[in-house]
């Protein structure tokens, strides 16, 4: 695994997808694309995103 689960300063909206991409050593674009595609399926994707936004600390804190 790459590192800890934090939101980087170079983020588009909240940095959740970029933080997950850094953690799992993936491209942020791929993680963002997967998230957008997951919105086509039923489920709590938006709630999970909001919860991660709240609990993931910003990098540098």
Question: pLDDT digit string (tens) for 1-46?
Answer: 567 899 988 788 899 999 999 999 999 999 999 999 999 999 999 9
Cα separation, 9 vs 58, whole angstroms: 7
Q: Quick one: which of 2, 6, 19 has its CA closest to 61?
A: 6
pTM of the predicted model as reported, rounded to 2 decimal places: 0.84
Residue-level pLDDT at 61 = 60
Q: Quick one: which of 19, 2, 1 has its CA closest to 10?
A: 19
């Amino acid at each position: 695994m790459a590192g800890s689960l934090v939101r980087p300063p170079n983020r588009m909206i909240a940095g959740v997808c970029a933080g997950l991409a850094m953690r799992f050593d993936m491209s942020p674009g791929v993680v963002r694309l997967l998230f957008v595609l997951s919105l086509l399926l039923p489920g709590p994707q938006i709630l999970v995103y909001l919860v991660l936004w709240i609990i993931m600390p910003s990098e540098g804190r």
